[in-house]
Chain A
C-alpha cells in the first residue's frame, strides 16, 4: 500500500547537517507530507549555523498539515504528555505529537520518520510504521543514491555510532545491515 513519508524535525536536522537535503528530495518524491509544528521547528532550526539548507524541506514536503479540530489539539497534548520529561518547555515534542495526532485522526497511511525514540514508541503503539534517519540512509544505499561507504561517513558525521542502535556501532555491522 502506498504511504506518505512524514518526518519530524530531528530527521530534517540530520539531513541538513550532512548537507544532503537533496537525498530526501530524491527519496521522497511526491509522497512527502509534514505537519505545521514541524514546519515551525524547521524554520527555527534554519537559524542555526550549518542548518541553513533545512528550509528546502518546504519545497520537499509542501504545505503543512494543520490541526483542524479541537480533538486533534487535545490528542496532540495527550500524546505529548506521554513522552515529555520534567523540565522540558511545553513546546518540546509538540511536532512529533501533532504529527501522530493528525495521522491518527485522519487515518493517514504514513511512514513516520523520527529519531525521537519515545515518540516512535508511542507511534508504533498506535499502529503507525516508524523509521529513523538511519533507515533512510539505508534506503539511499539500496536505491544507489549513495554508496554504503558514503552512508557510513554520514553516520559518523551525525554521531550515529554513539547511539544505542546495534547496527550503527561499527562499520562492518552497518555495512551488513545495509545489505539485508
Chain B
C-alpha cells in the first residue's frame, strides 16, 4: 500500500490546514471520509486522480507525493517576474504563468532533445554583443539560439517573461507582442539572468525579496548595457540630434523611447527640448512621424508582425514531428506550437493496429462466436 503517500499528505494538511477536519479535505478532493482516512493510514491506495487533486490542493508535485523525492524532471526556474513601472513593483498572474509553464514543460517532456551543450555565456554585455554579431537585435531570439543554444519561445497568454531550465536546456518564454522594443528588452533581461547565473534552486521555497531585487537590478543593468552601450551613447553629441535622427537610432537599436530616455537620464546626458519632446512620444508614434526609413512596404508593421508571431525552437518542432511519425506522441502539442487546429496538421501517424481478431477476444472471455 502507499502508506508513504498518506503520511506525506497528512503532514502537508497539518502544515497548510492546521485544525481542519480530515473529512473537509476529503470532500475537497472528492473522496469519502472513510476512503480518505483509510488511504491516509495506508490501508487503501490513492487513485491517480486523488493524488492529482491533493497535489493541487496542497501545492505539492504529484511526484513528491508519490515518492517523497523531488521530481527530477521539474523545471528549474531561473527568473520569473514582471516589473510594473507604474507601481514600481513586480507583479504577475501566477496561475496563468503556471499554466504556460506546464504547457511548455509538457512539450519538452514529450520528446528527447539533447541537453544544453553548456556553451559559455559571457557575463559581460559587451562581450555578449560581440559574440552575437552586428544587427543581432533585429532577430535577437534566433541569434541567441544559434550562438548560445538558448531556446526562445514566444506565445500568447504569458503575463510575464519566464526563464527556466527544461530537460537540461535553458528556455526563455516571452509573451507575443507587436512591440518589438518591449520584446527586445524582455529578451535581453532574461538573457541577462542566464548570463549572470541566476537560478532559483527551489521554486517552492519562500522568495528572498532582497536577493530577487538585486538580481532584477543586475539583469536590468545588463540589458541596458547590452542594448544601449554606454560608450556608444556617450560618443553621440545629443545637442545636435533631432527627432528624425533619434528615430533612426531607435529603429536600429530596437528599443523604446522610454528605454532610451531612462538610459540617457542615467548617463546624465542633457537633451535639447525638441529631443526631450520627441522621446516623450510613444515609440511607434515617434517612428511613424519622424523616421524616414518607413517605405511603402510599411516596415514598422512588418516588424510588429514579426514580433507578434508565435515562436518555438526549430529543434523542438522537428523532434515532435519525428515523435508523431513514430507514434510516440499525439499531434496536439505540435499543433499548439504552430497555433493551428490539430485536425489541420498533416503529419502522418502510424496506422492503428488493434488486437487479435475478435474471435480471440471472444475465446478469452469464454464467449461462443458464430457466423453472421
Decide yes or no whether A68 CB sits under 8 A from chain B: yes
**Closest residue on chain B to residue A32 by CB atoms:** B365
| Residues on the B chain within 8 Å of A35, using CB | 47
Decide yes or no whether B45 CB sits under 8 A from chain A: yes
Provide the bound-state CA to CA distance between A76 and B5, in Å.
15
| Residues on the A chain within 8 Å of B103, using CB | 86-87
The interface residues of chain A, by DSSP majority, are classed as: helix
Known: A118-B330, A131-B361, A132-B354. A31 touches B366 (CB 8 A): yes
| Residues on the B chain within 8 Å of A129, using CB | 354-356
Residue total for B at the interface (Cβ-Cβ under 8 A): 59
Known: A77-B62, A142-B358. A97 touches B48 (CB 8 A): yes
Residue total for A at the interface (Cβ-Cβ under 8 A): 62
Q: Identify the stretch in A36-44, A49-57, A153-161 within 8 Å (CB) of chain B at 4 or more residues.
A: A36-44
Decide yes or no whether A7 CB sits under 8 A from chain B: no
| Residues on the B chain within 8 Å of A1, using CB | 364
Contact of B368 among A67, A87, A143 (CB under 8 A): A143
Smallest CB–CB gap between A70 and chain B, Å? 4
Query: Interface digits, B332-372 against A, CB 8 Å rule (1 contact, 0 not)?
Result: 11001000001000000110111111110110111111111
Smallest CB–CB gap between A23 and chain B, Å? 12
Provide the bound-state CA to CA distance between A138 and B372, in Å.
11
Indicate if the CB atoms of B45 and A36 lie closer than 8 Å.
Answer: yes
Query: Interface digits, A80-100 against B, CB 8 Å rule (1 contact, 0 not)?
Result: 111111110011001101100
Indicate if the CB atoms of B369 and A143 lie closer than 8 Å.
Answer: yes
| Residues on the A chain within 8 Å of B356, using CB | 129
* Segment 91-128 of A: residues with Cβ below 8 Å from B: 91, 94-95, 97-98, 101, 111, 117-118, 120-121, 124-125
Smallest CB–CB gap between B182 and chain A, Å? 24
Indicate if the CB atoms of A179 and B372 lie closer than 8 Å.
Answer: yes
| Residues on the B chain within 8 Å of A173, using CB | none
Indicate if the CB atoms of B66 and A74 lie closer than 8 Å.
Answer: yes
* Segment 13-48 of A: residues with Cβ below 8 Å from B: 27-29, 31, 35-37, 39-41
| Residues on the A chain within 8 Å of B63, using CB | 74, 77
Known: A74-B66, A74-B67. A29 touches B365 (CB 8 A): yes
Contact of B49 among A40, A117, A138 (CB under 8 A): A40
Residue among A27, A35, A82, A130 having the largest count of chain B Cβ atoms under 10 Å: A82
Indicate if the CB atoms of A148 and B372 lie closer than 8 Å.
Answer: yes
Indicate if the CB atoms of A5 and B359 lie closer than 8 Å.
Answer: no
Indicate if the CB atoms of B4 and A139 lie closer than 8 Å.
Answer: no
Decide yes or no whether B107 CB sits under 8 A from chain A: yes
Provide the bound-state CA to CA distance between A143 and B362, in Å.
8
Indicate if the CB atoms of A67 and B48 lie closer than 8 Å.
Answer: yes
| Residues on the B chain within 8 Å of A81, using CB | 106, 109-110
Decide yes or no whether B142 CB sits under 8 A from chain A: no
**Closest residue on chain B to residue A44 by CB atoms:** B30
Smallest CB–CB gap between B100 and chain A, Å? 9
Known: A98-B47, A143-B370, A178-B372. A121 touches B327 (CB 8 A): yes
Smallest CB–CB gap between A88 and chain B, Å? 8
| Residues on the A chain within 8 Å of B49, using CB | 36-37, 40-41, 91, 94-95, 98
Smallest CB–CB gap between B279 and chain A, Å? 41
Decide yes or no whether B161 CB sits under 8 A from chain A: no
Indicate if the CB atoms of A76 and B359 lie closer than 8 Å.
Answer: no
Q: Identify the stretch in B50-58, B127-135, B243-251, B290-298 within 8 Å (CB) of chain A at 4 or more residues.
A: B50-58
Indicate if the CB atoms of B106 and A141 lie closer than 8 Å.
Answer: no
Q: A74-B63, A97-B48, A120-B352 are in contact. List 18 more A-B contacts (CB 8 A).
A: A1-B364, A5-B364, A36-B50, A39-B47, A40-B30, A64-B47, A66-B44, A70-B68, A82-B110, A83-B330, A86-B106, A90-B56, A90-B62, A91-B49, A111-B355, A131-B361, A142-B372, A179-B371
8 pairs across A/B with beta carbons < 8 Å?
A29-B365, A36-B47, A36-B49, A83-B330, A90-B52, A121-B349, A135-B361, A142-B358
Kindly list the 3 A-B residue pairs having the minimum CB-CB distance in the complex, ordered from nearest. A85-B332, A36-B47, A129-B355
Residue positions of A touching B, CB distance < 8 A? 1-3, 5, 27-29, 31, 35-37, 39-41, 64, 66-70, 73-74, 76-77, 80-87, 90-91, 94-95, 97-98, 101, 111, 117-118, 120-121, 124-125, 129-132, 135, 138-139, 141-144, 148, 165, 178-180
